[in-house]
Structure 1
Amino acid sequence: MNKLALPISILALLASVFLFFYSQSKSDLVYVDINKLVEGYDRTAKEREAFDKKTTTLKANVDSLMVNWQNELKTYEKERSSMTKKELKLKQELLQNKQQQINNYQQAIQKQIQEEDQKMTQTVINDINDYVKDYGKQKGYTIIFGASGSGNIMYAGDASDLTPIILEGLNADYNGK
């Protein structure tokens, strides 16, 4: 019995070492580069295109109002020598009020643009997060880290980077809808 115990224990030890290293070959610590996902995601480009069109329209409205106000100002400057004091005062007040309204409108537009940008970005981030979560569950990962270039992951081997795989699946999922 002793003669058999030694070879069996050596064989068990070798099998244990082999299984240990084999199980370590698939890393449970993986990550995705969030910036690359956002930039490479097809929905990002479509959302940005729609956002840019909307922004251009809103800015054109402000520019149009500014041009109209500047034209009124030029007209006022040409005609002011022939105006009475009362007409001058009224026209100045009117021009100041219009300028203030345009400034208020411009601030409101800037705020709207900023909110639209945040909404668009959040929509894209939510899509990515949902896909990565589902992917991680499906593939049995315990944790998938998100790197954003701000130092939260300083180094990881290429085998730990799921970015290309996630991006391909994310775009396939989006374009398949």
Structure 2
Amino acid sequence: MDQIPEMPEIRETTPKSKLNVLLTVVNLVMLAGLIVLYFIVLGPRNGEPVNQALIQKSAQGGVTVAFVNSDSIMVHYELVKSMRNTLETKTRALENELKRKQGIFEKDAAYFQEQVSKKTISEASAQEIYAQLMAEQQKLYELREQYSAELSRQEFELNLVLIDSLNNFLERYNRKMNFDYIFSHSRGGNILSANDSLDITEDVLRQLNSEYKGKTSK
């Protein structure tokens, strides 16, 4: 006679490894590494190589540069705040749904273990219920991966929107300002030191948020 199966230790299927971490990642992803404020490099003119044009203009004192603090953009740009809220809301909703399903599974598994220990169900029924529970647990693992992929996809799409927004704005901004280079400056980035007089972050942020509020108020 086959032995009635015992339920293995119930593993936590609520996605600590991904979904729970995403709330933290969301605060970092908005440009910490994935979205780098893609400055605008406008120059050189007349097909000159970049380094040669830069050397020539530097020698003539004609190179105009500015920088934007990308850390400040990520904190104060209203579009970023909106995106972060969107991802956090979606993450919490998916986490809660997984926790709900996890709770149902654990309750069913505990009841099954109780019935097996009391020997109140037949061996055939125990085998059938055991198989059903194992299938349900596998579905929970797959659902976790599905939700994680869904969040990653949405995050990627929002990142593209943000990059496009920044690049589009800076291109228009620089038509008026005529800088040769607008660099991205961030803590721990490639630019170790910069003259504060070259910082256009405040002006860029003011105009970015003004445009964003104008679009969202329509």
Q: TM-score range by the shorter chain?
A: 0.7 to 0.9
Residue segments in structure 2 that go unaligned for 5+ positions in a row: 1-59
Q: Give 4+ residue runs of structure 1 displaced > 6 Å after superposition.
A: none
Q: Once the two structures are aligned, what percentage of the paired residues are identical?
A: 18
Deviation at 1:50, TM superposition (A): 2.0
CA–CA separation in structure 2 for the residues paired with 1:114 and 1:35 = 22
Which residue of structure 2 aligns with residue 140 of structure 1? 178
Deviation at 1:149, TM superposition (A): 2.9
Deviations 1:74-116 (A, max 9, x none): 1101212211111111111110000000100011101111222
User: Does structure 2 conserve the Cα–Cα contact (< 8 Å) formed by 1:28 and 1:143?
Assistant: yes
User: Does structure 2 conserve the Cα–Cα contact (< 8 Å) formed by 1:32 and 1:163?
Assistant: yes
Deviation at 1:148, TM superposition (A): 3.1
1:60 and 2:90 aligned: no
User: Does structure 2 conserve the Cα–Cα contact (< 8 Å) formed by 1:136 and 1:143?
Assistant: no
Larger Rg: 1
TM-score normalised by structure 2 residue count: 0.66
Instruction: Provide the alpha-carbon RMSD of the alignment.
Output: 1.8
Query: Which one has the bigger helix percentage?
Result: 1
Which residue of structure 1 aligns with residue 150 of structure 2? 112
1:42 and 2:78 aligned: yes
Deviations 1:124-169 (A, max 9, x none): 2221121112111221111111123343211110111111111111
- Secondary structure of 2:210 counterpart: helix
Residue segments in structure 1 that go unaligned for 5+ positions in a row: 1-22
TM-score normalised by structure 1 residue count: 0.80
> 62, 65, 70: which is aligned to 1:29?
65
Counterparts of residues 95-134 of structure 1 (less than 5 Å): 95-134=133-172
1:83 and 2:118 aligned: no
